[in-house]
Each structure stands twice: as C-alpha cells, then as structure tokens.
Chains A and B, each alone.
Chain A
C-alpha cells in the first residue's frame, strides 16, 4: 500500500492530510470543553473518531468541487480550508463567526471554499447536493458534488428520491455514507433492514462499495476510485464508510446505548494513531516532523479559542438583516 499511495501523494502532502486530521481532532476537543464551560450553546455534534473519512475524501477533491453535509459539520468545513477561528467563533455565537453568529454549529457555509452547509434536517442535504451536481452538469463544468450522509438518514425518503434523480439524470455526485453505527441512540441494525446501507443506492443503478472508514489510506484510495468512475462514466457513485464516533450523538448524549468496551475497542483502531504509525513506519517520516505539526496545531487551537471568546456578540440590528437579499 505504501508504494501505491507514495505514487499518488508526496510525504509532504500526506503530512498535510495528517495535519488536517489532527486539527479536526483538537478543534473538536476544544469545542467539547467550551461547551462544557457554557461558552457554546444549543446542539453541538462532534466529529471525533471520523476524521479519516473527511480527510481521505479531501485527498480526491479539486478546489472547485462542491461539498455538502449534515449537522455534524465542523470537521467538514475545516477540511474545506475555512479558518478554524471563524468556525469556533460561530460555535460561541459571536460576530466573527462564519455565519455571523446566526447559524450556529449546524449551519455553516462558505461559497469561497465551495462548502454548501451544514444542514440541520436529517437527509435534507442529499437532494441539495444532487442539485449542486445538477448545476455542475448544466454548466458543463468538470466538477463533482460530494454529499455526506449519516446512517440515520439512510432511511429517510428524500434520500431515495435523490438517489433516483442522480442516477436518472447521470449527475456527477459522490455519496459518502458515514455509517458511525448509531443514528442518535438507535443502532443501525435496529433502524435499517437489509445488509449494507450502500445497497440502498445501488438499486438505483449507482455503483458503490463499503470500506473501512477508520483508515485514511483506504478512504483515500476509494475516493480516488470513485472520482475516476464519475469522471469516466458521468454517473454517480456511493461509498459506505464503516466509522465510529467516540463521543455521544451531541454534547447532551451520555451514550448509554453502547458499552464502554465497544468504545474502547473502536478507539484502539484510532484513525490518527494508525496514520501516524504508517507515516513513521512505511513512509519513513521523521518523528520530529509530526511533533512539529502537532505542536503548531495545539498552539493554533489556543489562538482559535481566544479569538472565539474575544469576538463580540453580534449587534442587535443583525437580527433583521439577511432575511431577504
């Protein structure tokens, strides 16, 4: 595997992906702390444990490609390159937040970074993402829309409608099912009949596969396969990621529906650790290079925290702006 990946990415690029994963992990840990301290309110869904999914997919993305996801979106907008300080300031509900403090955890967007949300209603992002793909095809652009969807949404009717439309109209869209095994507190086997979730897309004539979503290299290879399939065939593709969230569904979830043993077993398979080990062993990356990255990110997160707490609350007149354009 090392050989194949080293043909695709330089060590510098691989370190860049590791840096992204580490940033997401540290950002989310900080968000969890700030939530506990009462600095972040409302719903707050952390991405810890699933970092390899978004980063592996990122390794196949062109800057003009579009991305849309659900409410567990902090990691996704960071992966897309938005400065974490604006994301954290959104979580603290401040003026400098990416949505000016009006969106919150679940509603963040960046046109410049081709990130189209951040959608709070389960499943709603899927037809929207198919619409982004429609726009790419309509304008004859060589772009792919990447649509993330959780296991919980895979029983939602509009998702099937979107699969049908995407396949019927041959739209350039990659569906990424982040199967973290629980839709809130309901295990997949208690909510979804049948075997694998991605088969719910293949019945519409969409090609797909299921892979280990805890490993950056596996995700990256699948993402590149999917991208090439979409380019070559002008048809959608689906990848189901077997992944896991370490934290509860949201901050208020004690996660009593699963055992501690299960969580610790999944943590032994940690995507950051396994990537780090492979970089050291298979790619001969130096320990110091990784340490430098980690030190810098930790420093950056401190600045991000400071920024998000020092940014003022939005002006009251912001209440009435941006209802209409």
Chain B
C-alpha cells in the first residue's frame, strides 16, 4: 500500500519531509513512527498505518512542499497483492463541490501579492521582505515587546507550544516566561486578569486561540474593557489588544467558524481591526499595541500563510481607521475586509471581462471606519457592492449600507447590494461550507445587479 503525506491540520496543503525514521526493508508495526513531517504550524510524526515491511521510500528526507495525499513510501502488508501497491489510491467517488473556495483563494494568492506589493503606503523607502502574515504578526509582537517592557503576551499555548497557529513562535525564548505566558483554558479568568493588568498600566496582548472562545469572556471584554474609560469619567483606560483568528477556517464546523466583526463593532469603546494581508497585519498590529484603547484584532487562519512584502523596520505603522483602495476604477465600488477582500479579488478577472473596472476598498479598520474614503469612492462610481463573510442578519455590512445611503443618497444610481454569509450555523460538509460563505458567483451577480449588466 502507498503511504500518503497526510493532512495534519484542516488548512495544510503541503508539507516537508524532515526525517525518515525507518529504512527500506525494515519491518514495522501499526503505530510505529515512520517519519517526521513539517507543516506550516508544527513538526508532526507520521505513524505506520499497518503492520508490514517498508518496501520503498519514494520521497527522500529533506524534500519540501510535498502535496498532501501524494505517496511518500510503499508499505508491503502481508496478504496484500504484489501489484496492489501501485493502484491503491481510491477513486474519488463523492461529487466535488460546485464552488471550491480554497481554489478561489489559491488563485488569488498570487493576485493579492501583486496587489499589495505594488502599492506604496507612504513615501518612505522601506526595507521590504516577502513574508507570511504569520511572520508579520510575530514580528509586530516581537518588535513592540522589544520597544516597550510593559507589553506582554498571554493566552492558551502561546509560549511552550509556540502558539496553536504558530503566530507566537519563538517569543518565549526571546522574552522569557515572565512576558510570554501560557494560560489555563480559562478565557473568562485570563481575560479579566489581562484587563486588570491593563488598568494598572501594562499593555497586554491577549490571544484567543480562536475568537470563538472569546464568547466565554465577552462580559469582561464589553463590560470591563470597553466601558471603563467612560464610566470612570476618563480615569481608567484599558490599553489591551485581543487578537486571534476569526471567521470560518476550513471544515471546523459550526462552533469554530464564525465572524465576530458585527458583534464587536457594535460596542462603543472598542476598536476593531481586520487585516487582509501580511503588510497591513504588521502595521496595524503595531498601531493596535500602541493604542491606549481596547482593540479587537481579528485575524484569519486561512490568510496566515499568505505572503506580501512587509517593511522590516520597527517604526513601520499603519494608522487605525484608514482604508486602502487596492484597485482603482470608476464603474462601481466593492467593499470588503479580511478574507472577503480575497473573495472580491478572485472575482476581479471576471468583473473586468464584463468591461467593468471597480474601486475595491479594503477597509482594514472596521471601527473607526474610514467613511471619507468610502464616500469619496461612492460619489465617483455611484454603485456599491459590500462583501462580508459574517451572517447578513443585522450585520456590519447592513450598517455600512445604511451609512452609504444616508451620506451618498443623491449619488447612488442603483440599490446597494450586500453579499454576506448565509444565516445558518456553519456546516461541516465541504460543499455546504463553501456555499455558506460569499461565493464568486454571488459577488459577480451582485456586480451585475448594481451595474444593470444582467
């Protein structure tokens, strides 16, 4: 039988073969460790699926970027036909999902790189390096901890485990256990603790393994962090960053896939940030850590591995509340943030085929919102599509649509169309999950609707 490179996490697409622990001809038992596989998050051990003899090693150790499910060795199992090893891959019988989001996003990963690498954020000549969003976030935290001893990091698995998604990799070694703290699985408690520390003047970075778990602590976030400045008459501020992955990752189903943009942007006293790329992630996270208010910093697991050019300097900041026009056009305005920006970009070639060139606005900050940038664009294009991953019911996108119609009413040539996540708990099945989120087809049809091209 063929031994295939396994997917060791829901988002893993490729892996590196670090080391073989067995040789050709060696007898192995089911469960024996065969090899060490490195993913973008961790190094994992590959176990033998059965008793048998290692007949052939196909992929040598040290090989990189091996696709998931490609054969890496052949295991001769007793009683198995001699020639069966070559054709053991089971034919895919289940129907493929009609909308393949991960493919859409893959096709845009090239796209997004060129989009963000070509833009000039300011006049400075930055020393830029192409890195992943994961590295950019890590650099932002490390730089700010270097610059300010009041900054510390706490959360589940942030220290010894190097972060559940490896964003905090190496920080424990760099800063020690006093400033990088593993917490118990105790969100309500450690969030309250972090808020208390912030009230005393420290600047905690409080990681939620995913924002789904922030619901355990939402009372502390809203009632203690967001409201203290106001209800103390300006006496007590809470300089804290809550950060972690938000939204739907890949096939982790209802309780681990939801977008909290609408929830947190509803709350006075909170700042809400949601970067779509590595460059913004670094500049915005650094600004968030330096901000004296509580900041909800919403990352996206599927974007952690995406690369853009990022300035290496520790004084590279992107101001909160500034949107970014990532494609300039005149026919319509398409507004997104975080992952939805990538969905819009994946539809761009087909939008252009319709003879349309849109303004695409990446909001970056949800609160404060760059209303000026939005209205300026709408007054130019007169047509608006909003794309958001979260549920459409009483959503941020709905509010944005209200703001636009009340500020740009005379400029609008069509209704505003909003493409949101469907109002259902996130399903597990691949095709249902893809359909629950905004699809390329829906974005295209929204574009056609506002431009009367259907």
Residues on A close to B: CB < 8 A?
66, 68, 97-104, 107-111, 116-121, 124, 126-136, 138, 145, 157-158, 160-162, 164-165, 168-169, 321-325
Chain B: minimal CB distance from A41 (Å): 15
> Are A131 and B197 within 8 A (Cβ)?
yes
> Are B188 and A158 within 8 A (Cβ)?
yes
- Among the listed B178, B197, B223, which residue makes an inter-chain contact with A132, where contact means beta carbons less than 8 Å apart? B197
Chain B: minimal CB distance from A66 (Å): 7
| 16 pairs from A and B in contact (CB 8 Å cutoff) | A103-B232, A110-B235, A116-B196, A117-B228, A127-B188, A127-B196, A128-B224, A129-B196, A131-B199, A134-B197, A135-B201, A138-B152, A157-B188, A162-B193, A322-B234, A324-B269
> Are A322 and B186 within 8 A (Cβ)?
no
- Give the distance in Å from the alpha carbon of A220 to the alpha carbon of B186 in the complex: 34
> Are B235 and A120 within 8 A (Cβ)?
no
> Are A128 and B293 within 8 A (Cβ)?
no
Chain B: minimal CB distance from A188 (Å): 23
Chain A: minimal CB distance from B397 (Å): 23
Chain B: minimal CB distance from A42 (Å): 12
Q: Which residues of B contact A66 (CB under 8 A)?
A: 200
Q: Which residues of B contact A129 (CB under 8 A)?
A: 196
Given the interface pairs A127-B196, A162-B192, A165-B189, the reply to whether A99 lies near B235 with Cβ below 8 Å is: yes
Chain B: minimal CB distance from A186 (Å): 21
- The A-B contact count (CB < 8 A) is 142
B194 within 8 A of A: yes
- Among the listed A98, A127, A160, A323, which residue makes an inter-chain contact with B229, where contact means beta carbons less than 8 Å apart? A323
Interface size, B (range): 35 or more
Q: Which residues of A contact B293 (CB under 8 A)?
A: 324-325
Q: Which residues of B contact A165 (CB under 8 A)?
A: 183-184, 186, 189-190, 193
> Are A127 and B189 within 8 A (Cβ)?
yes
Q: Which residues of B contact A132 (CB under 8 A)?
A: 196-197, 199-200
Chain B: minimal CB distance from A111 (Å): 6
> Are B236 and A109 within 8 A (Cβ)?
yes
Chain A: minimal CB distance from B239 (Å): 8
Scoring B152, B186, B199, B231 by chain A CB atoms within 10 A of each residue's CB, the highest score goes to B231
Q: Which residues of A contact B287 (CB under 8 A)?
A: none
> Are B236 and A321 within 8 A (Cβ)?
no
Scoring B200, B220, B268 by chain A CB atoms within 10 A of each residue's CB, the highest score goes to B200
Chain B 152-193 interface residues, beta-carbon cutoff 8 Å to A? 152, 178, 181, 183-184, 186, 188-193
Chain A: minimal CB distance from B14 (Å): 39
Q: Which residues of A contact B229 (CB under 8 A)?
A: 322-325
B237 within 8 A of A: yes
Given the interface pairs A121-B219, A131-B192, A168-B184, the reply to whether A99 lies near B233 with Cβ below 8 Å is: yes
Chain A: minimal CB distance from B271 (Å): 8
B71 within 8 A of A: no
> Are B230 and A131 within 8 A (Cβ)?
no
- Give the distance in Å from the alpha carbon of A275 to the alpha carbon of B319 in the complex: 59
Chain B: minimal CB distance from A103 (Å): 4
B198 within 8 A of A: yes
B325 within 8 A of A: no
Q: Which residues of B contact A322 (CB under 8 A)?
A: 229-230, 233-234
Q: Which residues of B contact A130 (CB under 8 A)?
A: 189, 192-193, 196
Given the interface pairs A127-B196, A325-B293, the reply to whether A117 lies near B189 with Cβ below 8 Å is: no
Chain B: minimal CB distance from A324 (Å): 5
> Are B269 and A134 within 8 A (Cβ)?
no
Residue-wise, chain B 326-366 has the 8 Å CB interface mask toward A (1 for contact) of 00000000000000000000000000000000000000000
- Among the listed B193, B219, B236, which residue makes an inter-chain contact with A134, where contact means beta carbons less than 8 Å apart? B193
Q: Which residues of B contact A158 (CB under 8 A)?
A: 188-189, 192, 220
Q: Which residues of A contact B228 (CB under 8 A)?
A: 109, 117
Closest to B294 in A: A324
> Are B233 and A102 within 8 A (Cβ)?
yes
Scoring B178, B181, B202, B236 by chain A CB atoms within 10 A of each residue's CB, the highest score goes to B236
